[in-house]
Structure 1
Amino acid sequence: TMFVNKHSRTFIFKRLPRNYRQFTSSSTEDYDLVVIGGGSGGLACAKAASQLQKKVAVLDFVTPSTQGTTWGLGGTCVNVGCIPKKLMHHASLLGDAIRDSKAYGWNVPDEVQSDWTTLSTAVQNHVKSLNWGHRVQLRDKNVEYINGLGSFKDPHTVRVKESNGTERLLKTRNAVIAVGVRPYVPSQIPGAVEYGATSDDLFWLKKTPGKTLLIGASYIALECGGFLNGLGFDTSIMVRSRPLKQFDQQMAELVAESMESKGTRFLRKCVPVSIEKDSRGRLVVKYEDLTNRQTKEEVFDTVMFATGRHAVTNNLNLEALGIEVDQTTQKVFGGHSDDHERTSVANIYAIGDILHNRPELTPVAIKAGQLLADRLFGGSQVQMDYNMIPTTVFTPLEYGVVGISEEKAVSCHGEENIEVYHAFYTPLEFAVPRRDASHCYIKAICFGDRILGLHLIGPNAGEVIQGFAVALRCGATWSGLSGSVGIHPTTAEEVVKLHITKRSGADPTVTGC
């Protein structure tokens, strides 16, 4: 293909991807790719495909939550997930920093208070700026954005019901399902759907949440509970079984204990029975204590369910195409040997949170979407690698992890064949204000010289784990890790200083330099 350099008037020949196709009026399909879902994964895939000179459309439509909340382009992460969550987590940490500052000589009031309206408005304004930014990016990259609800008529035809009520059909060579997941509210509990909020609502509340009950023990429940308590709200978390049950259980319990020590109440072994609204507009929650089978009652201003998330695939007409979904979570089965994201229909793919048995993480969806576009249109054969995916739970003391849990390591290799190096440590910043550091903990799980998992609880755990995750992905070993020199004084250096094993029974508490 020949291009003209407008500055030098010279002719430039540029090699385009081998499967590049220019559209003409005789094309049998309108699009090379239609992406259903405008979240992180769908947008990444669409933009990458468009950069490879393909004609791409993105469909995005937000069905209101049970409480009527809706939002703009960008999906869960931008609007009701990672971004607003991290900002409110940071707001909570700022309160701790202000209180600590007295010990460092700053003249601040004994009591500081957060204003929900100011905080929520600032967070919402930032989210709206990101919504607009995504629309601008799609326009700049020549991706057609359609604010409409998509479903399949057949493998090559997507039916779109646009926001203005009109319908149209899009013919496409390939389609990507990237509709994401939404919170599940148990409808069998009287009053749950009518009065129960979810994380879809929390960040867009127009009034202060007040005394709040969070039902569930997932990372969403603990993150939201942590920052609400840090912002000064009376906060309780109702746990049916155990906190963070998908994570390493020693680490999970330390996270929960650290939250309890800061004032978050855990109602353990309890389940909700019903929710009613009283004459003052407050929510009366009846719940059962499973340890003694007693029914109890308490009044809250806000009740938030964090009891799992289900894929938004019900209205896509997947059953007519023969695409299998999990009957409970409605997630799509993928994972074919030739392509990890391909469904049972050859030209239809699924990425992000809706893929069965894959991590519900924004960076995973983005990377999978980009790699898929490269395979479809750029001649690549690189598959998404779902191993050694790092993540962080943004509780007041953050919990960062890459690799597997100790329980999983024991199950796979036997307790006698693994070595766990661990340490309790005190971040230097905690020393002057005499903050409780009893839950700051690190452990590395090893099988021979191979590091199977690295876990850290402490301030800025996400920032620390990111670097180690890259190292582990590049083949870092225990001998390489323990032989490294730390940066003093930092939290991260405590990882490379690990030397005490659980098997030894020695005290793992770090003292001095």
Structure 2
Amino acid sequence: MTDYDYDLFVIGIGSGGTRAARVAAAHGARVAAAEEYRVGGTCVIRGCVPKKLLVYGAHFAEDLMDARRFGWDVPADCKFDWKTLTGNVFEEVDRISKAYNTTLDSHKVEVINERAELTGPNSIRLASGREVTSKYILIATGARPHIPTCPGHEFGITSNEAFHLESVPKRILIAGAGYIANEFAGIFHEFGAKVTLINRSDQILRGYDEQIRDRLLQISMMKGIDFRFNAKFEGIEKQADGSLKVSMSNHAPIEVDCVMFATGRVPNTENLGLDAAGVELTEKGAIRVDEDNRSSVPSIFAVGDVTDRIQLTPVAIREGQAFADTIFGNKPTRVDYHCVPAAVFSHPQMAGVGLTESQAKQKYGSVKVYVSDFRPMKNVLAGRNERALYKMICDGETNKILGIHMIGPEAAEILQAAAVAVKAGLTKDAFDQTVALHPTMAEELVLMK
């Protein structure tokens, strides 16, 4: 390896790149990592971390209202200040980003705050003009929000800019029906915005269990969020008063104060010199990799959202760990993508692991479905008419659990433990034999019939 400047050069210091760089360095490799923006990547800087903090802030709207039923004298004119919340969120983002830097520094990873591009299978050119070589190169540049090409698209924002709005828009239109769209719909609604969500198809959250997502749609509509289905963007026109007039197919135009695109994410593979290095891409522009994260070029690897696998932070971290252990730790490791849990931090939360009911029926034919449809105790006393729904899908012959899906308060926190049981291949009998922890919402998992 001494023929190269480094043993490993990482392009992109997000969650996956950070883990790979740190672990490789711990195994004794000489590591450098380049980041053109800020250390931390999408999750820390403009994704799951700041968004989850907004979700926490938004929940107080309902919690303060419910508190009156629990004896608290909450003033009717209780006010919310967007700047206070976002200012504190940015402070936390800064803290975590600095922690990432500290971790890399403590492992003697050279952090280069410049854009890096490939010039060959083992060579990199930095924005400053400096050229370096490395035996192995890891691409971990993540993905970015997709922006439709309709007329006036420049007037819209994405989730990246949503955190930096000067104030909560009075009327916001969100395009998309995936987890980002539904999460921000709940956030802005709780902060007092009139939210309209439009989607090109007639479904939200495709890929999640149908009964669970239908429940979210019902609750969201009951809260006052508007949905327009089979609506394709035709154009955005800025009005004299600064408002935006949005035209769409199959529906009348609508005037709003902000348009947010949440229509998917695009791998960051442009202008990285991948062509020069001979790296193959998929039809969607992602880096094509094998089970060991290796691209079509033996010395170049990729992890995280820049590939065509599961776009989740914990998955990217596992991929980074597996890469470093395999290449530098003499410990061949591959990521198991079976039974990866996922959550939507909507209002209320959705979470699921394993096969949905329809997927299980297609694969196994005979399945048993156990359901608990209940009103959480807190909602009962608060006078909130919102019901939770838990589902367990089992093999009809063996009763092995194939999937668990839920919607309700703290669904993601509850599912994390339940996901272990699904991953371990437990049966419904194991849940039946477990004593309920009362009174909790989670006890419904062991009481379903």
Any runs of at least 4 consecutive aligned residues in structure 1 with deviations exceeding 6 A, and if so which? none
Q: Among residues 182, 193, 196, which one is paired with 1:236 in the alignment?
A: 196
Amino acid across the alignment from 2:443: E
- 2:395 is the counterpart of 1:435: no
- 2:289 is the counterpart of 1:334: yes
Q: What residue number does 1:134 align with?
A: 100
User: SS at 2:111's partner residue?
Assistant: strand
Q: Among residues 329, 332, 343, which one is paired with 1:378 in the alignment?
A: 329
- 2:351 is the counterpart of 1:400: yes
Aligned-pair CA distance for 1:476:
2.0
- Encode CA deviations 1:310-338: one digit per residue, 9 max, x unaligned: 100011222333322123x31111124xx
The answer to whether the Cα contact below 8 Å between 1:113 and 1:232 also exists between their aligned partners in 2 is: no
- Encode CA deviations 1:271-293: one digit per residue, 9 max, x unaligned: 2211111112121111222xxxx
Greater Rg, structure 1 or structure 2? 1
Q: What residue number does 1:502 align with?
A: none
Partner Cα distance (1:183, 1:110) in 2: 38
Aligned-pair CA distance for 1:239:
1.7
User: SS at 1:422's partner residue?
Assistant: strand
Q: Among residues 429, 440, 445, which one is paired with 1:490 in the alignment?
A: 440
Partner Cα distance (1:383, 1:297) in 2: 50
Q: Among residues 141, 155, 158, which one is paired with 1:198 in the alignment?
A: 158
- 2:302 is the counterpart of 1:347: no
- 2:324 is the counterpart of 1:362: no
Equivalences for residues 262-341 of structure 1 within 5 A: 262-289=223-250, 296-327=252-283, 329-336=284-291, 339=292, 341=293
Aligned-pair CA distance for 1:430:
1.1
User: SS at 2:382's partner residue?
Assistant: coil
Partner Cα distance (2:341, 2:88) in 1: 29
Q: Which runs of 5+ in 1 are unaligned?
A: 1-20, 22-26, 63-71, 500-513
Q: Among residues 408, 411, 416, which one is paired with 1:466 in the alignment?
A: 416
Partner Cα distance (2:230, 2:265) in 1: 21
Partner Cα distance (1:74, 1:382) in 2: 24
Equivalences for residues 217-236 of structure 1 within 5 A: 217-236=177-196
Q: What residue number does 2:22 align with?
A: 47
- Encode CA deviations 1:217-256: one digit per residue, 9 max, x unaligned: 0110000011110111111111221100122222111112
The answer to whether the Cα contact below 8 Å between 2:403 and 2:422 also exists between their aligned partners in 1 is: no
TM-score, normalised via structure 1 length = 0.85
- 2:181 is the counterpart of 1:181: no
Q: What residue number does 1:213 align with?
A: 173
Q: Among residues 425, 444, 448, which one is paired with 2:392 in the alignment?
A: 444
Aligned-pair CA distance for 1:118:
1.3
Partner Cα distance (2:431, 2:4) in 1: 53
The answer to whether the Cα contact below 8 Å between 2:168 and 2:193 also exists between their aligned partners in 1 is: no
Amino acid across the alignment from 1:359: I
Q: What residue number does 2:340 align with?
A: 389
Moved more, 110-119 or 51-60: 110-119
Aligned-pair CA distance for 1:392:
0.8
Partner Cα distance (2:373, 2:271) in 1: 50
The answer to whether the Cα contact below 8 Å between 1:114 and 1:232 also exists between their aligned partners in 2 is: no
How many residues align structurally?
446
The answer to whether the Cα contact below 8 Å between 1:113 and 1:231 also exists between their aligned partners in 2 is: no
The answer to whether the Cα contact below 8 Å between 1:442 and 1:456 also exists between their aligned partners in 2 is: yes
Q: What residue number does 1:418 align with?
A: 367
Partner Cα distance (2:115, 2:134) in 1: 16
Partner Cα distance (1:122, 1:104) in 2: 28
Q: Which runs of 5+ in 2 are unaligned?
A: none
Aligned-pair CA distance for 1:170:
1.7
Partner Cα distance (2:341, 2:215) in 1: 19
Amino acid across the alignment from 1:138: L
Aligned-pair CA distance for 1:475:
3.0
User: SS at 1:453's partner residue?
Assistant: strand
Identity %: 36
Partner Cα distance (1:280, 1:131) in 2: 39
Amino acid across the alignment from 2:318: K
- Encode CA deviations 1:46-67: one digit per residue, 9 max, x unaligned: 11111112111111123xxxxx
CA RMSD of aligned residues (A): 1.4
Amino acid across the alignment from 1:39: G
Aligned-pair CA distance for 1:405:
1.4
Aligned-pair CA distance for 1:437:
2.5
Aligned-pair CA distance for 1:44:
0.8
TM-score, normalised via structure 2 length = 0.96
The answer to whether the Cα contact below 8 Å between 2:121 and 2:278 also exists between their aligned partners in 1 is: no
User: SS at 1:237's partner residue?
Assistant: strand
Partner Cα distance (2:136, 2:404) in 1: 39
Partner Cα distance (2:169, 2:101) in 1: 31
The answer to whether the Cα contact below 8 Å between 2:368 and 2:399 also exists between their aligned partners in 1 is: no
- Encode CA deviations 1:455-475: one digit per residue, 9 max, x unaligned: 010100111000111222233
- Encode CA deviations 1:120-166: one digit per residue, 9 max, x unaligned: 111112112222222222212211111122221111111221xxxx2
Q: Among residues 56, 64, 67, which one is paired with 1:101 in the alignment?
A: 67
Partner Cα distance (1:210, 1:434) in 2: 27
Equivalences for residues 38-117 of structure 1 within 5 A: 38-62=13-37, 72-117=38-83
